[in-house]
């Protein structure tokens, strides 16, 4: 399925293998098989985990340093739980790739990036309706928002900087 | 009043351009209606019964003359010459075209206004006490807090796709005029034993299908921690709130189902985990916002105005208006004047473009260029010199804005109902009109005293009927409009949900029934006892009987 | 919409114009802002044709919220919605007879079609 990040379309190197049995360099396993995949990972494979948006942070927290990718499912564009999970994972110190997977729309791209996502995986039908250009344009349509802790460009820090330089 | 800086101005302009692009992508099919709907709702655009409707944010109900004139212009140019003030202190236009909305948003941006998050499953327009900065009992002006939250909640990346809408209200007074306990989050500014300012945080209030009174989850939150704590509350709600049933998706249901104690624990755990100082606004930023709400340049005036006293003696109608529609100002020689949008026989909260211009002129001339919109769908001139009140009143009379009924039985709160709203199950405005006509007599209104009637045209309870002293809910029963009466609701600090008096009534039986309820009160009240106190003392039984009489009266 | 969920016959098809919001009626050929021009379906086959017209217009992003409304026929054979909600929708606000279709007003910009 089409994958994109802040620079545009991206090749997906991850192979879905719920139980981790696939013979590949990058395998995406389910939460149920995560421990097993990590412990049997003598071959230096990259391990990612695909999670529903109901998974609690505590389930992943012990393994975050060993996981290279977390793919969070968005069951619909109206279900924003994945944004909070991404934020929690980043706050817990997850340094790997964060992927949003599901029918998000271009207009949510900026929010996803601000919450810590790196890439979005959408369906082919979706991508046909909303080509990459729309996603990239939407990502930059609001240059600064008000919340601190959601990306470098926020108005509160800009005001603070302006105060510091006496403007 | 708050004024935009370069950052606010750019933000709002970019938002307009974004919406223009979204409309274009809806037309070319890039966005389906399902995808576009939440985007248009978050810009205040509803599809109603006859047309689109545009809801314009009036943050914490504060407006300048220039802003109100712009609303008047929009009403004339893009609508039908009138607007409607809502119970969330916003303005709604009932007839705009979607194709014109981007232009309207540009006109709003010209006067530092917008429609951001006036609908949709996100944090809505923040409301506050309409007598902020005026009331003598105020611990602190709630508007700087409300403005800080307005900015923080605007396009919040994490909280734009919540399970359901989320409403926050702030009061700075012990006397709650902002119905904080019927909000998803109610904030009450208070001082602790050490004299420090902070907030009582109440969560899980709300009306609608399942009315609930908010529970206190933090008795005292230090002022500086506000945004970080709100982030914790919203994160818990975003993750744990129900998404399987839209009628169970508000935070009140979550708080109710898991219990206030468990909810508090989840919030406190999340709060302990996050890095507060990296989230909250600097004290300098808080001070920057607060500076915009510094008191205006009041004059030092004597306690009594001889001109005001003389005018009252000479003009009985003015004296009546002054005794009903004025609220005491914390400064001697000033008053806050409520301008009623509840003329007998008219739609509650409706105001014409011509009237908007009169109000704007009066604000500029007599009230430091400031107006307030109240959740009761009226307008307030917050700082009028007593010396000027007679001139203000004369101008109001000329503009048909001088109804002396603030807080009385004809000061009815009503949603637009089925005359406009696509969600409504029954009409509200005709009921309000019939009741106002029934109780039109000025002296009788004053004799009855303080009594709020609130009429909602569906279970969503936009008119807050649950907390009306008398609440009326319009439903559909067997293909006809039917009205349920509730009694004993209270929107103040003693917040209470009204109880049903009996089965639904036909529209034409509502005025008689309300009149009988009022008669029971008049017969049984003690000297000086307001309606709501009498209902509490008497209980529902004597009132239930009169509804039965209506039901069994021969046709 | 399946036949089982259809309102009782006869029915008309109404919707809101996507760009202008005006309530519009399917005439069998175009969308009109005048209720008296609505095509009246008196049998299941006719209702199915209205549903097909609704699906096509929705797919073409011309209208939104398209659905069938059951009507009664007045003395002159004109369709009047049976339910009070749809009656208000085809007339205008009952509290403002000076506004909406009942007052001859329309938001429809003709060039949009």
Residue with tokens 């909260």: B349
Chain A residue with minimal CA distance to B234? Answer: A84
The answer to whether B11 faces chain A, any CB pair under 8 Å, is yes
The first and second tokens of residue B513, run together, are 């029934």
- pLDDT confidence of C112, banded at 50, 70, 90? very low
Yes or no, beta carbons of C16 and B47 under 8 Å apart:
yes
**B553 has a pLDDT exceeding 80:** no
d(CA A24, CA B357): 71
| Token pair for B476 | 């559909």
Residue B126 inside a domain? The answer is no
- Dihedrals phi, psi of B191, to nearest 5 degrees: -110, 140
ipTM more than 0.85? Answer: yes
Q: In what order do the strands lie in the sheet with B62-63?
A: B62-63, B371-373, B379-385, B334-339, B326-328
Which has the closest alpha carbon to B84: B488, B462, B406, B387?
A: B462
pLDDT of residue C1: 46
Across the interface, do B278 and A156 touch by the CB < 8 Å criterion? no
Give kind and range of the element (H or E) at residue B8.
helix B6-27
Which residue of A lies nearest to B237 if distances are taken between CA atoms?
A: A81
- Torsion sign (Cα): A162, A165, B3, B4: negative
Does some domain include residue B499?
A: yes
- In B234-258, which positions are buried (b, 16+ CB within 10 angstroms) versus exposed (e)? bbbbbbbbbbeeeebbbbbbbbbee
- Residues B247, B356, single domain; the answer is no
Nearest Cβ partner for C65 among B47, B98, B347? B47
A69-73 and A97-101 beta bridge pairing: parallel
Q: What is the CATH number of the domain that holds B144?
A: 3.30.413.10
Inter-chain CB proximity C19 and B27 less than 8 Å: yes
**Averaged pLDDT, A19-34:** 91
The predicted model gives B32-60 an average pLDDT of 97
Distance from CA of C49 to the nearest CA of B (A): 23
Phi then psi dihedrals of residue B479, to 5 deg: 75, 10
Contact B372, B61 (CB under 8 A): yes
Q: Are residues B141 and B277 in the same domain?
A: yes
Nearest to C90, CA basis, from C24, C20, C39? C24
Cβ atoms of residues B471 and B486 within 8 Å: yes
**Å between B424 CA and nearest CA of chain A:** 24
Residues 274-293 of B with CB under 8 A from A: 274-275, 278-282, 284-285, 288
Query: What integer pLDDT is reported at residue B495 of this predicted model?
Result: 82
The residue segments making up the domain with residue B333 are 306-398
Quick one: B489 and B378 in the same domain? no
Question: Chain C residues with CB inside 8 Å of B50's CB?
Answer: 21-23, 89, 92-93, 100-101
Whether residues B277 and B215 fall in one domain: yes
For chain C, the domains span 3-112
Q: How far is C40 from chain B (nearest CA, A)?
A: 21
Domain co-membership, B423 together with B393: no
pLDDT in tens, C85-94: 999 999 999 9
Average pLDDT, chain B: 96
Q: What residues of chain A lie within 8 A of the CB of B116, using their CB?
A: none
Q: Is A146 helix (H, G, I), strand (E, B) or coil?
A: coil
CB B35 within 8 A of CB A108: no
At a CB cut-off of 8 Å and minimum separation 6, what does B374 contact? Answer: B61, B89, B130, B338, B380
> CB distance B52–C21 less than 8 Å?
yes
CA distance C76 to chain B (A): 25
Check CB contact of A114 with chain B, cutoff 8 Å.
Answer: yes
Kindly report, residue by residue over B464-511, the tens digit of the pLDDT. 999 999 999 999 999 999 999 999 999 887 888 999 999 999 999 999
Could you give the CA distance from residue C113 to residue B390 in angstroms, rounded to a whole number? Answer: 55
**Strand residue runs (E) in A88-148:** 97-101, 119-121
Q: Which run of H or E residues covers position B541?
A: helix B541-552
Chains touching A (at least 3 CB pairs under 8 A) are: B
Pair B180, B168: CB distance under 8 Å: no
What are the pLDDT digits (tens) for B84-138? 999 989 999 999 999 999 999 999 999 999 999 999 999 999 999 999 999 999 9
For residue A36, give both structure tokens: 């097993």
Tell me, yes or no, if B423 comes closer than 8 A to chain C by beta carbon: no
Residue B60: closest CA among B115, B129, B8: B129
- C-alpha A156/C-alpha B279 separation (Å) is 10
Q: What is the pLDDT of residues B183-213, one digit of tens each?
A: 999 999 999 999 999 999 999 999 988 999 9
Kindly report, residue by residue over A111-138, the tens digit of the pLDDT.
999 999 999 999 888 899 999 999 999 9
d(CA B184, CA B180): 9
The pLDDT of residue B555? 54
| Beta carbons of A95 and A118 less than 8 angstroms apart | no
* Residue B156 in contact with partner chain A when CB distance is under 8 A: yes
User: Which positions in chain B touch A78 (Cβ < 8 Å)?
Assistant: 38, 121, 161
Same domain for B386 and B420? no
Which DSSP symbol is given to B241?
S
- Does residue B254 have a pLDDT over 50? yes
What DSSP letter does each residue of C28-72 carry, written as one string?
SSSEES-GGGPPPB-SHHHHHHHHHHHHHHHHTTSEEEEEEEEEE
Q: Among A153-157, B67-71, B142-146, B225-229, which stretch is predicted with the lowest mean pLDDT?
A: A153-157
Query: Pairing relation of β-strands B480-487 and B470-477?
Result: antiparallel
| B39 lies in the same domain as B151 | no
B546: pLDDT strictly greater than 90: no
Local confidence band at A44 (pLDDT 50, 70, 90 cut-offs)? confident
Asked if B154 and A145 come within 8 Å (Cβ–Cβ), the reply is yes
Interatomic CA distance for residues B123 and B166, integer angstroms:
5
The answer to whether the peptide bond before residue B103 is cis (omega within 30 degrees of 0) is no
- Residue B479 with chain C: CB contacts under 8 Å: 83-84
Among B158, B159, B227, which would you mutate to test the A interface (most chain A Cβ atoms within 10 Å of its Cβ)? B158
Q: List C-alpha distances in Å: C79 to B62, C30, C69, C84, C101.
A: 47, 17, 10, 14, 15
CA distance C105 to chain B (A): 10
CATH superfamily of A3-164: Aldolase class I (3.20.20.70)
Shared domain check, B449 and B375: no
Whether the pLDDT of residue C70 is over 60: the answer is yes
Same domain? For B278 and B312 the reply is no
- pLDDT above 90: percentage of residues in chain C: 87
pLDDT in tens, B515-529: 999 999 999 999 999
* Total domains in the fold of chain B: 4
Question: Does residue C18 belong to the interface with chain B, where contact is any CB pair within 8 Å?
Answer: yes
- Interchain CB distance below 8 Å, A159 and B5: yes
Helix/strand number for chain B, H first, E second = 18, 20
Confidence (pLDDT) at C111: 60
Question: What's residue B554's pLDDT?
Answer: 62
The whole-angstrom distance between C107's CA and the closest CA on chain B is: 7
Per-residue pLDDT tens over the stretch B383-417: 999 999 999 999 999 999 999 999 999 999 999 99
Is residue B31 assigned to a domain?
yes
> Closest by alpha carbon to B212, among B268, B263, B142, B153?
B263
User: Quick check: helix, strand or coil at residue B213?
Assistant: coil
Task: Calculate mean pLDDT across residues A20-39.
Answer: 91
């Amino acid at each position: 399925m089409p994958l994109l990040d802040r620079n545009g379309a991206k090749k997906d190197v991850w192979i879905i293998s719920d139980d981790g049995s696939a013979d590949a360099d990058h395998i995406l396993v389910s939460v149920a098989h995560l421990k097993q995949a990590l412990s049997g990972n003598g071959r230096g494979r990259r391990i990612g985990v695909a999670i529903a948006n109901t998974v609690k942070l505590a389930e992943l927290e012990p393994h975050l340093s060993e996981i290279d990718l977390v793919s969070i499912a968005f069951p619909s564009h109206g279900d924003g739980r994945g944004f909070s999970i991404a934020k929690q994972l980043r706050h817990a110190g997850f340094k790997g790739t964060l992927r949003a997977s599901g029918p998000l729309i271009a207009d949510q791209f900026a929010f996803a990036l601000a919450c810590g996502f790196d890439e979005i995986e959408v369906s082919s039908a979706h991508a046909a309706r909303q080509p990459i250009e729309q996603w990239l344009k939407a990502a930059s349509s609001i240059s600064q928002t008000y919340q601190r802790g959601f990306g470098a460009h926020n108005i509160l820090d800009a005001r603070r900087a302006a105060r510091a330089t006496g403007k | 009043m708050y004024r935009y800086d370069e950052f606010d101005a750019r933000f709002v302009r970019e938002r307009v351009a974004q919406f223009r692009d979204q409309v274009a992508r809806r037309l070319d099919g890039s966005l389906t209606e399902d995808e576009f709907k939440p985007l248009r709702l978050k810009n205040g655009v509803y599809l109603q019964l006859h047309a689109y409707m545009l809801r314009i944010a009036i943050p914490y109900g504060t407006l300048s003359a220039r802003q109100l004139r712009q609303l008047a212009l929009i009403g004339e140019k893009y609508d039908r010459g009138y607007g409607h003030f809502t119970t969330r202190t916003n303005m709604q236009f009932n007839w705009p075209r979607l194709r014109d909305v981007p232009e309207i948003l540009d006109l709003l941006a010209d006067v530092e206004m917008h429609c951001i998050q006036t609908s949709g499953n996100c944090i809505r327009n923040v409301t506050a006490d309409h007598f902020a900065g005026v009331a003598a009992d105020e611990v602190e002006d709630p508007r700087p807090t409300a403005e800080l939250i307005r900015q923080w909640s605007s396009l919040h990346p994490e909280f734009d796709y919540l399970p359901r809408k989320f409403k926050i209200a702030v009061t700075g007074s012990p006397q709650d005029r902002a119905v904080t306990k019927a909000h998803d989050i109610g904030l009450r500014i208070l001082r602790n034993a050490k004299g420090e300012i902070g907030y009582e945080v109440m969560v899980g209030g709300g009306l609608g299908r399942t009315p609930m009174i908010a529970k206190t989850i933090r008795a005292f939150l230090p002022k500086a921690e506000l945004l970080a704590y709100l982030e914790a509350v919203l994160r818990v709600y975003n993750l744990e709130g129900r998404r399987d049933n839209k009628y169970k998706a508000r935070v009140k249901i979550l708080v109710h189902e898991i219990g206030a104690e468990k909810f508090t624990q989840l919030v406190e755990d999340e709060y302990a985990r996050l890095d507060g100082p990296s989230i909250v606004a600097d004290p300098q930023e808080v001070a920057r916002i607060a500076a915009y709400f510094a008191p205006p340049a009041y004059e030092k005036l004597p306690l009594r105005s001889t001109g005001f006293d003389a005018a009252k003696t000479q003009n009985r109608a003015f004296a009546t208006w002054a005794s009903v529609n004025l609220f005491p100002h914390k400064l001697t020689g000033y008053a806050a004047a409520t301008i009623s949008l509840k003329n007998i026989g008219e739609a509650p909260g409706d105001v014409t473009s011509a009237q908007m211009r009169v109000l704007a002129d009066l604000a500029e001339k007599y009230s430091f260029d400031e107006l307030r919109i109240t959740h009761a769908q009226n307008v307030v001139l917050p700082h009028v010199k007593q010396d000027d009140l007679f001139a203000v009143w004369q101008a109001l009379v000329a503009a048909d804005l001088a109804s002396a009924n603030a807080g009385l039985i004809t000061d009815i709160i009503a949603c637009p109902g089925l005359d406009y709203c696509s969600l409504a199950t029954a009409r509200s405005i005709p009921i309000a009109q019939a009741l106002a006509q029934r109780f039109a007599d000025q002296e009788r209104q004053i004799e009855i005293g303080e009594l709020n009637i609130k009429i909602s045209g569906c279970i969503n309870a936009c008119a807050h009927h649950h907390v009306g002293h008398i609440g009326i809910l319009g439903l559909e029963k067997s293909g006809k409009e039917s009205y349920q009466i509730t009694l004993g609701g209270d929107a103040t600090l003693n917040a209470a949900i009204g109880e049903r008096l009996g089965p639904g009534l036909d529209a034409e039986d509502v005025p008689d029934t309300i009149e009988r309820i009022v008669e029971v009160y008049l017969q049984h009240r003690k000297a000086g006892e307001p309606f709501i106190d009498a209902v509490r003392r008497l209980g529902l039984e004597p009132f239930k009987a009169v509804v039965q009489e209506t039901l069994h009266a021969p046709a | 919409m399946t036949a089982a969920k259809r309102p009782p016959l006869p029915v008309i098809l109404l919707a809101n114009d996507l760009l202008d919001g005006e309530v519009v009626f399917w005439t069998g050929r175009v969308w009109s802002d005048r209720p008296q021009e609505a095509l009246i379906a008196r049998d299941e086959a006719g209702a199915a044709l209205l549903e097909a017209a609704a699906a096509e217009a929705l797919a073409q992003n011309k209208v939104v919220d398209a659905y069938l409304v059951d009507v009664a026929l007045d003395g002159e054979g004109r369709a009047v919605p049976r339910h009070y909600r749809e009656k208000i929708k085809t007339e205008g606000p009952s509290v403002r007879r000076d506004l909406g279709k009942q007052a001859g007003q329309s938001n429809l910009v003709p060039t949009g079609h």
